[in-house]
Amino acid sequence: MTEIQAQAPAPTASVLDTLDALEAEAIHVIREVVAEFERPVLLFSGGKDSVVVLHLAAKAFWPAKVPFPVLHVDTGHNFPEVLRFRDETVARLGIRLEVASVQDYLDDGRLQERADGTRNPLQTQPLLDAIAAGRHDAVFGGARRDEDKARAKERIISLRDEFGQWDPRNQRPELWSLYNGRHTVGQHVRAFPISNWTELDVWRYLEREGIALPPLYFAHERDVYARDGMWLAVSDVSPPREGETVERRTVRYRTVGDLSCTGAVVSTASTVSDIVREVAASTLTERGATRADDRLSEAAMEDRKKDGYF
Amino acid sequence: MSTTTPAATGTPATDGATAPAGTLFRFATAGSVDDGKSTLVGRLLHDSKAILADQLESVARTSAERGFGGEPGAIDFALLTDGLRAEREQGITIDVAYRYFSTGRRSFILADCPGHVQYTRNMVTGSATADAVVVLVDVRNGVLEQTRRHLAVVQLLRVPHVIVAVNKIDLTGYDRDAFAAVADEVAGLARDLGLPDVHVVPVSALAGDNVVERSANTPWYDGPALLELLEGLSTIDELETDLEALRLPVQLVVRPQGALSPELAASGADDVFRDYRAFAGRIESGTVRVGDAVEVFPAGVTTTVVGIDRGPVAVEEASAPLSVSLRLADPVDAARGAVIAAAGSLPAPRRQLEAAVFQLDARPLAPGARVLVKHGTTTVQALVADIRGRLDLDTVDTVPADRLATNDIGLVSLRLSADLVAAPYAEHRRAGAFLVIHPQDGATLAAGIVVEAPA
């Protein structure tokens, strides 16, 4: 079987770089969960972090296919190009897609549209129902500890009670690489294989592995308008209000979320390498400033909130 | 209160996008809040440019609101970890927070262990995988009881490097003798405890002396700054991989059979992978090379490695801590829980463990308790046969005890329902570490390390 495999020198410990170490840890976690749980599922939004987790899973079980389905919480406000990417990805990998539809809940009255029109907070119930319906005892997510202060304390394998709640006071100590995922009926665990990755690690890994992403991560021209210090896309679910001026701008998205509440950043970064440079540089130039550019810093905050939502 | 201007100098966070990601180094910080740990952590993150502008802005705003600092934009470094403290006051957390920063040479994972509440539990959790532990000491107080306890835990867990940061040297006027007295005290303690690699650095977290850059205020100190030291120390894997034999606990067996990746199926590779069977796991120690003779526990057979796969890439060799899939020459009967090791290297299987356990759960551990022991990729039933004593961290002596309470370190005998190929932690850390788990509610009761059987 070796004829179709590339030969490459393996890194030894002394030259093992950060990405190799993080990859090894993530693959270990993914395999532990698959070995110890009956019905794992991966939360897959098409965003870069869940794309990385899926790529790691494909590597962990190669040449077999990924042995668990993916679950997407569809708010009905998704970018069409992200849904296309989602469908292409599951088809390519031959895995099952489960969809929890917020629109269904709105249609039959189980949920009501919020006054502000955003659907992000509405995702929780469809998500928990889908986990219960799929009898999923382990749910992979792409959340990272560098995203915010609460996430900095969450375990890699994190227990959820029957209401899907995280109890930070009652977390199991996590030592060495021994993960304790034992749970009782009704409980499930969330598993975060890339907990220890930073945003820059994710982009460097995407670059190194040549992983495909939805096109909206890269610079493109789009009709946008400014609101709350962000550039929002013009769409059916996010029309500009009175007095908001539509402009044609070259933008990209730092995270994948809803059309109605995800801001774009003005950027000409058109390749992953460009983005790696942009992310690395933004750390440098934003550092030490006493008064950051309001628009950019609020967009960054929004990015984090969205990333950490699950 | 710790204040400074955000315009403080520091080394660049990165050499740019094309620079390699560097190596990964894990370290833990320990010390009470009064020792200035929050300030030190904030200083490290700030001066290594790990704080983004919006975070800094919010901290500066809070600093101003609370009346810190005379200069515009002055910030209280401790506020960078303030969210955690506020949460802890509300009872939300009592445990370790992980933080990330990098320099041009290394990426760091910092396990920030809160100092005063349940310190042993947090110290153990934060230090278990640490390449180094930074223990803070206030130069005015010297070595305290808590310092001694911290260092005793670090010694038990075999953390390779200890850095004692002697803080607040600005408050003693950068006095050489004040520092030297504490350094002598630390050296004596390190000798008593048998700590192999101890570095003592005079710092002022508040003023930034010797944290990221060497300070002009301490001409009598010619050693490295704290960050410089952290950049240069070897990781556990760098230190031990070459010394230890190959050991890989099998997580699962990869057999595509009917479930070949569709991309491979489309390329007509069905035939190639029809009989593919590989043992997936993370290399715990050592190096594996194609052609190596290996033994497999519990099958008890010896065979040869014919392939090492990292995803679709076949490699000639791989070392700890990589995750790989091993193909073996013979059809070995092995599943999750098996251990693949260099031929002749596995210790004799044990049905009984003599161990030191760190009691983590609030419920005391007593003889007769039925528990689960998770070791590597195996979980077995166990019985607490005997509690042989409790470690008094102040004297580092064993004192009699009939049960173990939270934060106790005890010596116990565990009878196992099945064989484990465990080794003393002092010889092989990953083969000597295990968890004690409650069989009903699944709580992690204790963390254990195998010690030599009593004489």
ipTM of the complex: 0.89
**A125 lies within 8 A of chain B by CB:** no
Q: Which A positions 51-110 lie with beta carbon below 8 A of chain B?
A: 58-65, 67, 92-94
Q: How many CB atoms lie within 10 A of CB A7?
A: 9
From first CA to last CA, the distance across chain B in angstroms is: 53
Residue A175 has its nearest CB partner, among B60, B128, B442, at B128
Please write down the HEC assignment for all residues of chain B: CCCECCCCCCCCCCCCCCCCCCEEEEEEEECCHHHCHHHHHHHHHHHCCCCCHHHHHHHHHHHHHCCCCCCCCCECHHHHHHHHHHHHHCCCCCCCEEEEEECCCEEEEEEECCCCCCHHHHHHHHHCCCCEEEEEEECCCCCCHHHHHHHHHHHHCCCCEEEEEEECHHHHCCCHHHHHHHHHHHHHHHHHHCCCCEEEEECECCCCECCCECCCCCCCCCCCCHHHHHHHCCCHHHHHCCCCCCEEECCEEECCHHHECHHHHHCCCHHHHCCCCEEEEECCECEEECCCEEEEECCCEEEEEEEEEECCEEECEEECCCEEEEEECCCCCCCCCCEEEECCCCCCCEEEEEEEEEECCCCCECCCCEEEEEECCEEEEEEEEEEEEEEECCCCEEECCCCECCCCEEEEEEEEEEEECCCCCCCCCCCCEEEEECCCCCCEEEEEEECCCCC
More confident residue, B319 or A186: B319
**A276 lies within 8 A of chain B by CB:** yes
CB pairs under 8 A between A and B: 287
Q: Where are the domains of chain B?
A: 6-240, 247-342, 350-452
Residue B322 has its nearest CB partner, among A20, A168, A273, at A20
**A173 lies within 8 A of chain B by CB:** yes
Q: What confidence score (pLDDT) does residue A307 get?
A: 32
Please report which confidence band the pLDDT of residue B81 belongs to, taking 50, 70 and 90 as the band edges. Answer: low
The residue of chain B nearest to residue A150, with distances taken between CA atoms, is B84
Q: Nearest 10 degrees: CA dihedral of B245, B251, B254, B255?
A: 120
Residues forming beta bridges with residue B204, ordered by sequence position:
B209
Structure tokens of A285? Answer: 């130039």
Average pLDDT value for residue range A32-45:
97
pTM greater than the 0.95 cutoff: no
Residue A241: exposure state from Cβ atoms within 10 A (0-12, 13-18, ≥19): exposed
CATH class as words, domain B6-240: alpha beta
Residues forming beta bridges with residue A100, ordered by sequence position:
A73
Percent of all residues in chain A with a pLDDT value above 90, rounded to a whole number: 56
Average pLDDT value for residue range A88-108:
94
List of chain B residues whose C-beta atoms are within 8 Å of the C-beta of residue A93 = 261-263
Q: Nearest 10 degrees: CA dihedral of A36, A41, A47, A52?
A: 30
B57 vs A292: CB contact, 8 Å cut-off?
A: yes
List, for residues B185-238, the tens digit of each pLDDT value. Answer: 999 999 988 898 899 999 999 899 999 999 999 999 999 999 999 999 998 888
Residue B238 has its nearest CB partner, among A14, A182, A301, at A14
Q: In this structure, are residues A307 and A255 in contact, taking their beta carbons and an 8 Å threshold? A: yes
List, for residues B143-197, the tens digit of each pLDDT value. Answer: 988 888 888 889 989 999 999 999 999 999 999 999 999 999 999 999 988 898 8
| B38 Rama sector, left if φ>0, alpha if ψ -120 to 50, beta otherwise | alpha
A31 vs B251: CB contact, 8 Å cut-off?
A: yes
Q: How far is B246 from chain A (nearest CA, A)?
A: 13
Q: What confidence score (pLDDT) does residue A28 get?
A: 98
Residue B311 has its nearest CB partner, among A11, A25, A59, at A59
Give the Cα separation of A195 and B209 in Å (integer).
32
List of chain A residues whose C-beta atoms are within 8 Å of the C-beta of residue B56 = 287-290, 292
Q: In this structure, are residues B336 and B377 in contact, taking their beta carbons and an 8 Å threshold? A: yes
Average pLDDT value for residue range B387-409:
88
Q: In this structure, are residues A175 and B130 in contact, taking their beta carbons and an 8 Å threshold? A: no
Q: How far is B190 from chain A (nearest CA, A)?
A: 24
Scored b (16 or more CB within 10 A) or e, B385-395 reads bebbbbbebee
> What is the full DSSP assignment across A69-122?
-EEEEE-S-B-HHHHHHHHHHHHHHT--EEEEEHHHHHHTTSS---TT---GGG
Residue B442 has its nearest CB partner, among A3, A182, A293, at A182
Q: How many CB atoms lie within 10 A of CB B15?
A: 13
Q: In this structure, are residues A251 and A220 in contact, taking their beta carbons and an 8 Å threshold? A: yes
B252 vs A34: CB contact, 8 Å cut-off?
A: yes
Residue B100 has its nearest CB partner, among A65, A146, A273, at A146
Residue type, B123: M
Report whether CATH 3.40.190.10 matches the domain B350-452: no
Q: Is B350-452 in the same CATH topology as B247-342?
A: yes
Residue type, B204: S
Give the Cα separation of B401 and A273 in Å (integer).
60
Phi and psi of B217, rounded to 5°? -80, -10
Q: How far is A130 from chain B (nearest CA, A)?
A: 25
Distances (CA, A) of B7 to A3, A282, A286, A289, B71: 57, 17, 12, 8, 11
Q: Does the pLDDT of residue B6 top 50, yes or no?
A: no
Average pLDDT value for residue range A29-49:
96
Q: Hunting for tokens 């629109």 — which residue is that?
A: A103
List of chain B residues whose C-beta atoms are within 8 Å of the C-beta of residue A40 = none
A153 vs B251: CB contact, 8 Å cut-off?
A: no
Q: How many CB atoms lie within 10 A of CB B427?
A: 13
Please report which confidence band the pLDDT of residue A270 belongs to, taking 50, 70 and 90 as the band edges. Answer: very high
A284 vs B434: CB contact, 8 Å cut-off?
A: no
B102 vs A198: CB contact, 8 Å cut-off?
A: yes
**A165 lies within 8 A of chain B by CB:** no
Return the CATH architecture of domain B247-342. Answer: Beta Barrel (2.40)
